[in-house]
């Protein structure tokens, strides 16, 4: 099943924006350029930082509505204007804070990145999903930290996992696509990861071989790159959530299908379907446009698995408990 067409979506997301940096909605007759070896050319820098501030899951107050009303959109414009002004305010006050940390993106009309089910939310967890969720902890958890196992893969600077790695974050949301004969490579700025995707028809790996980001195989269907990913290790959250939100687990049975269709010189229609029958009662889908920005430059994500933050969390937690016991 296809989502709302990219040409329509680009206009609605951009709210009819024109001028420098505007998305150019693709026409029905658009044909993607080809690489020297004949594949549809998706190469370029396609950052998703402009989507920051758009929730992955839809707030329940919006119901089944995919887009904001004019009034709601105006409220989002004002909210993001205030949040984006924090950087200049901190410069003026000579104090560095969250304004130097978070990049809030541009206002758009999407009520959520998730498009199916109709309520824009991850479906309920299975009983096994609930059991796994209850055992998941991270640096957001209000617990005594004693072990590296108390932290998730992002805390440990290993990975955001999938599908989280393909969604915008509060910073470092760069995505670059490179191609070579038989391969498509997706380079991710956050956690300095690279997805190498064969498109040469090779068979999948044996199911016993599991990886943090799974194992991907791609194929072209017309102008659309279809990527199917399996062989996950089931040790990453499905989505990175903040304090108070229920962690969403994954399993080794998770299967992800992505579709990337170039619909204009500066637009890719991105779609993703996530199915994990072990932890989810139903699959879910998300859809949003990628906009090309060749002026975007990736910054080093200076984080590594042996980072001192994990040790500091554990040592501070143990010290606090010793202090409390002494009192």
DSSP state string for 104-126: -----SBS-SEEESTT-SPPPBP
Q: pLDDT tens across 198-252, in order?
A: 999 999 999 999 999 999 999 999 999 999 999 999 999 999 876 668 899 999 9
178: Cβ contacts below 8 Å, ≥ 6 apart: 43, 184, 185, 187
Element of type H or E holding 133? helix 127-135
CB of 16 closer than 8 Å to CB of 75: no
Q: Is the pLDDT of residue 2 over 80?
A: no
The pair of structure tokens assigned to 176 is: 């670059």
Instruction: Write down the pLDDT at residue 4.
Output: 38
As a whole-number percent, the residues of the chain with pLDDT over 90 amount to: 72
Question: What confidence category does residue 21 fall into, taking pLDDT thresholds of 50, 70 and 90?
Answer: very low
Q: In angstroms, rounded to a whole number, what is the distance separating the alpha carbons of residues 20 and 16?
A: 13
Phi, psi of 190 (to 5 degrees): -75, 125
Least confident of 27-31, 49-53, 73-77: 27-31
Q: pLDDT tens across 41-64, in order?
A: 999 999 999 998 899 999 999 999
DSSP structural state of residue 280:
B
Please state the rounded mean pLDDT for residues 65-85: 92
Q: Is the pLDDT of residue 313 over 60?
A: yes
Q: In angstroms, rounded to a whole number, what is the distance separating the alpha carbons of residues 55 and 104?
A: 12
Instruction: Write down the pLDDT at residue 243.
Output: 66
Instruction: Write down the pLDDT at residue 240.
Output: 81
Q: What sign does the dihedral 236-239-245-247 (CA atoms) show?
A: negative
Q: Is the pLDDT of residue 113 over 80?
A: yes
Q: In angstroms, rounded to a whole number, what is the distance separating the alpha carbons of residues 15 and 160?
A: 31
The pair of structure tokens assigned to 15 is: 């709210």
- Mean of per-residue pLDDT scores for the chain: 89
Q: Is the pLDDT of residue 25 over 50?
A: no
């Amino acid at each position: 099943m296809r989502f709302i067409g990219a040409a329509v979506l680009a206009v609605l997301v951009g709210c009819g924006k024109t001028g420098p940096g505007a998305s150019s909605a693709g026409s029905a007759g658009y044909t993607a350029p080809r690489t020297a070896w004949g594949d549809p050319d998706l190469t370029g820098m396609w950052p998703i930082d402009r989507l920051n501030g758009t929730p992955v899951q839809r707030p329940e107050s919006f119901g089944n509505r995919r887009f904001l009303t004019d009034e709601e959109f105006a409220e989002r414009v004002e909210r993001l204007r205030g949040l984006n002004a924090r950087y200049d305010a901190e410069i003026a006050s000579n104090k560095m804070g969250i304004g130097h940390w978070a990049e809030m993106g541009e206002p758009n009309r999407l009520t959520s990145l998730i498009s199916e089910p109709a309520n824009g939310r991850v479906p309920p967890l299975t009983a096994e999903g609930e059991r796994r969720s209850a055992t998941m902890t991270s640096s957001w958890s209000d617990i005594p930290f004693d072990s590296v196992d108390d932290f998730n893969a992002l805390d440990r600077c290993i990975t955001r996992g999938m599908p989280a790695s393909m969604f915008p974050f509060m910073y470092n949301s760069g995505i670059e696509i490179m191609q070579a004969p038989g391969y498509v490579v997706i380079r991710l700025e956050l956690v300095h990861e690279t997805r190498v995707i064969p498109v040469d028809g090779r068979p999948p790996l044996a199911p016993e071989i599991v990886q943090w980001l799974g194992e991907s195989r791609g194929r072209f269907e017309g102008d659309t790159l279809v990527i199917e990913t399996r062989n996950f290790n089931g040790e990453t959250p499905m989505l990175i959530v903040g304090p108070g939100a229920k962690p969403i687990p994954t399993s080794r049975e998770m299967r992800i299908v992505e579709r990337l269709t170039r619909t204009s010189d500066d637009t890719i229609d991105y779609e993703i379907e996530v199915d994990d029958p072990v932890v989810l009662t139903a699959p879910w889908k998300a859809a949003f446009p990628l906009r090309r920005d060749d002026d975007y430059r990736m910054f080093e994500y200076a984080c590594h698995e042996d980072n001192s933050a994990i040790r500091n969390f554990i040592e501070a937690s143990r010290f606090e408990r010793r202090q409390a016991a002494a009192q």
